[in-house]
Homo-oligomer: A and B are copies of this chain.
């Protein structure tokens, strides 16, 4: 791991910059975390933790994108979410004191602070404001998970793919030419949507011929957002 290229960010500044939940900490608490946290840099492809393993801490993402997925019975990945700067990952397992139920893999070169497990419950107990914000955060994630369940259960693959493209555009944004900033393989797209790689490929080219998107290798350009929304049924 190459620490030389980046300086360790201080929570006081970093938390506000990347809009993490740690902005609700007071000076003392931030100092404490600054002291014990371990700033780490990760290359693409690195696995931060694996499904089923006990973990000794959680991460606050500082840079990059990390893919969080579960492995299904036949080895197929189901992507649950992506973590980006400001997000904390592995907190679920830490708080409920269970082995990790997901795997975290670096999608784009990342850096994150590793913080030992016991800090999180301590903060919940010592800082009511932080506790409440953490609860809100988790509740929000739970709400999204519930929608996701309903979508996968009831929508067609076509509808879900349109929805995923829109979600990716609102989560990660578009560049100046309306291309999705996040770059995923077709297989990864399939693993979000919950379908086969070939189906994603076919549907993407359908979308393309319907002038909803344009494709340039792995890059996807959103051409007709309105109609994608119609297809995704989120009216």
Interface residues in chain A, defined as those with a beta carbon under 8 Å from any beta carbon in chain B: 70, 72-74, 76, 78, 80, 91-92, 95-98, 101-102, 121, 124-126, 128-129, 131-132, 134-136, 138-143, 145-150, 152-155, 194, 233
Contact = CB atoms under 8 A, between A and B. Distances in A.
Given A131-B131, A147-B101, A139 B76 contact: no
How many chain copies does the complex carry? 2
A235 to B, nearest CB: 8
B149 A80 contact: yes
A95 B146 contact: no
B92 A139 contact: yes
Contact of A152 (B138, B146, B152): B152
Given A70-B147, A98-B143, A124-B132, A76 B138 contact: no
Nearest to A160: B153
